[in-house]
Structures are given as structure tokens and as C-alpha cells.
Structure 1
Amino acid sequence: MSRELISSGSPFEAEIGYSRAVVCDGWVFVSGTTGYDYATMSMPEDVADQCRNALNTIAGALAKAGTEMTDVVRVRYILPDGQDFQKCWPVLKEFFGEVRPAATMISCPLMEPEMKIEIEVTARQPQQA
């Protein structure tokens, strides 16, 4: 079994004890990712902006794993307010419109009140020739 840990540089990874992503035997498991802009450690107020930040962070982790958004096979969206989900649809369509991974939306509290969405994905690395 091969195993590689991928970091996004978030201070939370070391503080909590997790990796942004783990690559294991061709699969890439990306941890739940919120809308922080890790360059500034700021969180936008708008749920769609948080969604875009989360997906950009996820795309960066996938790139480090040798994959991209088109390799995503499963996605979970977690929102404290399920009514906010539709506001994210245009952003989600940009990233996954052609990919169309299996998806689930869950409504439950997140760790901090300013967090309006958390996204978790699973991707499959392309087969090597």
C-alpha cells in the first residue's frame, strides 16, 4: 500500500492533526475544506465566495496529487444552512459541470459560525502507462 500526505499549508492541519489530502493506492481523499483564503487567513462573508475558495484549495491539493477536478468521482457539500446551497450552484457548475461526480449535500453545523460551506472530495489518479 502506498500512502502520501499532502498539505495546503493551513495552520489547522498541524493544530488538529490531519492532512489536506491523502493519496492511497491511486485514490485521493481530500479533507473537508472550508472557504478560508489561506494566503490572508480571511473568510469571505458570501457563501458562493467561500465555495470558490474551498474549490480552489481542493484543486491545489489535487494538483499536488497528480490529479485535477476532472478526476473527482465523489463530492460532499456540508452547509449549516441548506437554503444557501442554491447560491453555490453557479460556482459548482464551473468546477463540476462536465465532471458530474456523485454528490451529497448535508446540512449541519460547522466548526465556526462564519463558515458557510465545507466541501470534501474523492478523486482517482489517472492510470499510468
Structure 2
Amino acid sequence: MKRIASGGIFEDKIGYCRAVVAGGFVHVSGCTYPGADVPTDVVAQCAGALDVIGQALEKAGVSFADVIRVTYMLPDPEDFAPCWLLLRETFGDNPPAATMVSCGLIDPKYKIEIEVMALAPAA
């Protein structure tokens, strides 16, 4: 098993790591926009969360092409559609299975949180 930390502000506070490589998979925790200066625009927040995910995937030795499952969490489901183009561009020809859930997030400044599961690199 390999644990991957990102230095995110909640990792130490809550007691988790950004990603875990185990059992043939890379499990990436829910990611929001990094840092304290969070933009109000949902697409900008989505891009920031995807950047955090991309960095975790890279540290695990995989990419967005290896993602098999994604979960999008948004307090306001109306904010999801503006993100679709960016998400389509990110996953390209390798779309994963996906679910969007409307729920509260850890802080009201966040408009989207994204978690993924990817196939781990071959041993």
C-alpha cells in the first residue's frame, strides 16, 4: 500500500491522505479548490480540484486516462452544467463511470468536490 499526501489544509486536521494506492486501484479523496483564496466561480473551483487530482494521480504513476470512477459533489446541482465542458476535456476519450451528488460540503465557500478511483500501475 502507498499513501500519498498533498499538504492540503484538511489532511492533518481530519487525519486522511490525498490518495491511497492499494488493491490494484488508486483512490483519490474528495478534492476541492486548493488554498485559502477560493474563487466564487464554480468552473474555476472545478479546475482547481482537477489540478489537485491530477497531481495525486501523477504521484501514483497514473493519469486521468486511468480513472474508472468519478463522483462529483455539489451543494447546488445547478452549478454542475457549467463544469461539463471542462470535465469532458479532462477525461477526453476515456470517460469514467460517474455520479453527481447534491450535498453540503465542509465549508460553504466550496461549490464542488470531486473524488476519483483509477486503475493502479501494473506491478
Displacement after TM superposition at 1:13 (Å): 0.4
* 1:68 alignment partner in structure 2: 63
* 2:16 alignment partner in structure 1: 18
**Residues in 2 aligned to 1:66 and 1:55: alpha-carbon distance in whole angstroms:** 16
1:58 aligns with 2:56: no
**Residues in 2 aligned to 1:56 and 1:20: alpha-carbon distance in whole angstroms:** 13
- Unaligned 5+ residue runs, structure 1? none
Identity %: 52
**Residues in 2 aligned to 1:90 and 1:113: alpha-carbon distance in whole angstroms:** 24
- Unaligned 5+ residue runs, structure 2? none
**Residues in 2 aligned to 1:106 and 1:79: alpha-carbon distance in whole angstroms:** 6
**Residues in 2 aligned to 1:93 and 1:74: alpha-carbon distance in whole angstroms:** 14
Q: In the TM superposition, what whole-angstrom CA distance separates every residue of 1:51-97 from its partner, at most 9, and x where no partner exists? A: 00000100000000011110000000000000110010111011113
Structure 1 residue runs of 4+, over 2 Å off? none
Aligned length: 123
Displacement after TM superposition at 1:24 (Å): 0.3
The TM-score with structure 1 as length reference comes to 0.91
1:107 aligns with 2:105: no
Report the aligned-residue RMSD: 1.0
* 2:2 alignment partner in structure 1: 4
Q: In the TM superposition, what whole-angstrom CA distance separates every residue of 1:3-27 from its partner, at most 9, and x where no partner exists? A: 1110111131011100100110321
**Residues in 1 aligned to 2:10 and 2:68: alpha-carbon distance in whole angstroms:** 26
The TM-score with structure 2 as length reference comes to 0.95
* 2:113 alignment partner in structure 1: 118
